[in-house]
């Protein structure tokens, strides 16, 4: 099933869809308020975009600079070309130390690599320690949003889930009560875990260190107690200099949740005494995307989630309707680069309203790239020769004044004479909408009779 079918399913429950839309719209409003306090907001966006663009243009240089500085700091650096390599590196590190449990803070990259499944198949227990991620892990679901993984679930459902998994009181939906229960449960896991995995929000080439942003402090809790810290990062997470960091910490949380800054901004530069610190640099298709002229800038993304919150389609279709690790507008321009066929409906899951591009703190022209992917998809879709022939015909006919007239009058007289594809479109339009009333004369007729004279 493509996006339209999944979206229809989501919308079939009108109350929930409305709730989902309003919840995320509220986050967008918080973002508006938070960014409104920063008078130089637009300038910040431009600077952030320029830094990222520059970094991508010399990514190889910055990566090697970063690696050598990280090595000097005592970090063990690994390179993974794809998801499989990444997962094996993690498993290797754990096996060597005979570790069988891993606490993990939020990392969309490990979702992308399906690390949890892989480790569990290899006998390792993985505990997601971000509250939202723990919730979806209990529910055996992927995250539906990159910043708020369980945003699709109502409090009652979480209470039910916690009752089942953590033995909380049935029917107690009090948020404080539930988070306390989760905290207690996780504390126990933290104390026992020998290894902790974190994501990376920003890695700094100049210093060889990296920064992890969380709201719950769960990354620190894991890392500070464990003997082994593994950090996984996509190679696009680099920034050149220490002084660039402030630009990004100022835009990240404001864009994503409307906070001035995430509650925790944790800096890691070298292993603690007696601790092993591993950093895995993952490509997994990023170099390919870097080589695609029109889509390169999608790698500027700092995963703030703002484009999801603002997207009128995402809000009304839910994260799962995209069936890709990163949903929403940014997912719709990243995913086709991973599997064009599988994700071919995503670039069309947009009205091209452009709100994503205007909200994006690093100024990715998301809606332009959606348009561009549409061209790529139609050029590649060998299955649909019909569509291609039809479009050629339409292109030819619409360019000819004569045929344009004929076609137009057919449209106004509608359907009987029409080829299937068009007729279907008409029928779909008419499901819930009236057709425009057909006027007595067209503009052109009017012009000929009135203004055109003399």
Partner 1 sequence: MKIGLFIPCYIDQFYPRVGIATHQLLVKLGCDVHYVREQTCCGQPLANSGYEDSSRSCANRFINNFSDFDFTVTPSGSCAYHVRHHYDFIQQTSDVVHVRNSTLELTEFIVDVLKKPLPKVTFPHKVGLHSGCHGLRGLRLAAASETKESAFNKVEELLNAVDGLELVYPERLDECCGFGGTFSVKEEKVSVAMGNDRIHGFLEKDVAYITSADMSCLMHLDGLIRRQGLLVQVVHVAEILNESVYGAS
Query: Which residues would be at the binding site for ligand SF4 (CB under 6 A)?
Result: 255, 301-307, 330, 359-362, 364, 366
Q: Rounded to the nearest whole angstrom, what is the least distance from the CB of residue 430 to ligand SF4 in the complex?
A: 35
Q: Which does 13 bind (CB under 5 to 8 A by kind): ligand SF4, partner 1, none?
A: none
Instruction: Give the residue with the Cβ less far from ligand SF4, 226 or 282.
Output: 282
Nearer to ligand SF4, 48 or 193 (CB): 48
253 binds, among partner 1, ligand SF4, none (CB under 5 to 8 A by kind): none
DSSP reduced 3-state for 78: strand
CB of 156 to partner 1, least distance (A): 24
List Cβ<8 Å contacts ≥24 apart for 185-191. 186/127, 186/129, 186/134, 186/218, 186/221, 189/101, 189/103, 189/127, 189/129, 190/103, 190/129, 190/221, 190/222, 190/225, 191/225
The span from the CA of 163 to the CA of 155, in Å, is: 12
Strands 125-128 and 101-104: parallel
**Residue nearer to partner 1 on the CB measure, 25 or 138:** 25
How much is the CA Rg of the chain, to the nearest whole Å?
25
**Cβ(321)–Cβ(350) below 8 Å:** no
26 vs 72 by CB, closer to partner 1: 26
Q: Smallest gap, in angstroms, from Cβ of residue 71 to partner 1?
A: 41
Give 199 or 305: the residue with its C-beta nearer to ligand SF4.
Answer: 305
Residues 6+ positions from 364 with CB-CB distance below 8 Å:
49, 297, 298, 300, 301, 330, 333, 357
Non-local (6+) Cβ contacts of 248 within 8 A are 48, 51, 201, 202, 239, 302
Q: Return the ∠ at Cα 430 (arms to 424 and 433), rounded to 5°.
A: 145
Angle, to 10 degrees, between the axis of helix 328-338 and the axis of helix 366-380? 30
Selection from ligand SF4, partner 1, none that 353 binds (CB < 5 to 8 A by kind) is partner 1
Residue 408: contacted member of partner 1, ligand SF4, none (CB under 5 to 8 Å, by partner type): partner 1
Nearer residue to ligand SF4 within complex by CB, 255 or 321: 255
- Candidates 200, 193, 199, 198; CA nearest to 124 is 193
Phi-psi region of 323 (alpha: psi -120 to 50; beta: other; left: phi over 0): left
Report the nearest approach of ligand SF4 to the CB of residue 208 (Å): 24
User: To the nearest whole angstrom, how small is the minimum distance from the Cβ of residue 20 to partner 1?
Assistant: 11
126 secondary structure, DSSP code: E
Instruction: Give the nearest distance from C-beta 150 to partner 1 in angstroms.
Output: 22
**Complex with ligand SF4: residue 222 or 361, whichever CB lies closer:** 361
Instruction: Please choose which of ligand SF4, partner 1, none residue 357 contacts, taking the beta carbon within 5 to 8 angstroms, the exact cut-off set by kind.
Output: partner 1
d(C-alpha 363, C-alpha 304), whole Å: 12
Shortest CB 391 distance to partner 1, Å: 4
User: Residue 249 and residue 38: Cα distance in Å, rounded?
Assistant: 13
Write phi, then psi, for 285 (nearest 5 degrees).
95, -10
Residue that is written with structure tokens 């004369």 in the block: 441
Nearest approach in angstroms of CB 362 to partner 1 is 14
Residue 123 interaction partner, one of partner 1, ligand SF4, none, beta carbon < 5-8 Å per kind: none
Using the minimum distance from each CB to ligand SF4, give the nearer residue, 59 or 362. 362
278 vs 372, beta carbon nearer partner 1: 372
Between 31 and 78, whose beta carbon lies closer to ligand SF4?
A: 31
Closest to partner 1 by CB, 338 vs 353, is 353
Closest distance to partner 1 from the beta carbon of 400 (Å): 7
Residue 368 Cβ vs partner 1, minimum distance, rounded to whole Å: 8
Q: Which does 382 bind (CB under 5 to 8 A by kind): partner 1, ligand SF4, none?
A: none
307 binds, among ligand SF4, partner 1, none (CB under 5 to 8 A by kind): ligand SF4
How far apart are CB 393 and partner 1 at their closest, in Å?
8
Alpha helices in 37-76 (DSSP H): 41-57, 59-72
Given a contact cutoff of 8 angstroms between Cβ atoms, the answer to whether 334 and 326 are in contact is: yes
Residue 222 interacting partner from partner 1, ligand SF4, none (CB closer than 5 to 8 Å by kind): none
All residues at 6 or more sequence positions from 161 whose CB lies less than 8 Å from its CB, including other chains: 135, 138, 139, 153
């Amino acid at each position: 099933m493509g996006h339209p079918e999944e979206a229809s399913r989501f919308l079939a429950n009108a109350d929930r869809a409305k709730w989902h839309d309003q919840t995320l719209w509220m986050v967008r409003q918080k973002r508006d308020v938070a960014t409104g306090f920063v008078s130089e907001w637009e300038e910040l966006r431009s600077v952030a975009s320029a830094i990222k663009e520059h970094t991508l243009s010399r990514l190889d240089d910055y990566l090697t600079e970063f690696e050598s500085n990280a090595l000097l700091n005592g970090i063990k650096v690994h390179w993974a070309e794809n998801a499989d390599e990444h997962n094996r590196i993690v498993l290797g590190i754990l096996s060597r130390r005979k570790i069988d449990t891993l606490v993990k803070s939020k990392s969309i990259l490990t979702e992308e690599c399906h690390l949890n499944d892989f480790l569990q198949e290899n006998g390792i227990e993985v505990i997601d320690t971000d509250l939202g991620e723990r919730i979806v892990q209990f529910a055996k679901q992927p995250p539906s949003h990159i910043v708020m993984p369980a945003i699709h679930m109502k409090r009652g459902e979480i209470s039910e889930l916690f009752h089942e998994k953590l033995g909380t009181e049935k029917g107690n939906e009090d948020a404080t009560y539930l988070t306390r229960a989760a905290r207690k449960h996780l504390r126990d896991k933290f104390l026992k875990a020998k290894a902790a995995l974190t994501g990376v929000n920003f890695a700094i080439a100049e210093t060889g260190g990296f920064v992890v942003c969380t709201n719950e402090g769960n990354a620190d809790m894991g890392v500070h107690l464990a003997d082994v810290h593994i950090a996984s990062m996509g190679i696009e997470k680099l920034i050149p200099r220490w002084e660039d960091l402030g630009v990004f910490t100022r835009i990240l949380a404001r864009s994503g949740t409307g906070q001035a800054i995430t509650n925790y901004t944790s800096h890691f530069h070298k292993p603690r005494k007696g601790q092993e610190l591993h950093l895995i640099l993952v490509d997994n298709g990023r170099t390919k995307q870097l080589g695609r002229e029109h889509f390169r800038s999608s790698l500027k993304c700092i995963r703030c989630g703002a484009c999801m919150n603002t997207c009128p389609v995402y809000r009304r279709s839910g994260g799962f309707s995209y069936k890709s690790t990163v949903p929403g507008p940014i997912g719709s321009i990243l995913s086709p680069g991973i599997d064009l066929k599988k994700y071919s409906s995503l670039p069309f899951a947009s009205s091209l309203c452009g709100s994503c591009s205007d909200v994006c703190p690093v100024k990715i022209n998301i809606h332009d790239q959606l348009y561009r992917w549409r061209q790529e998809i139609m050029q590649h879709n060998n299955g649909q020769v019909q569509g291609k022939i039809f479009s050629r015909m339409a292109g030819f006919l619409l360019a000819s004044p004569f045929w344009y007239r004929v076609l137009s009058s057919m449209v106004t007289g509608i359907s009987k004479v029409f080829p299937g594809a068009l007729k279907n479109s008409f029928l779909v339009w008419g499901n819930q909408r009236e057709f425009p009333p057909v006027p007595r004369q067209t503009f052109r007729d009017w012009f000929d009779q009135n203004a055109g004279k003399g």
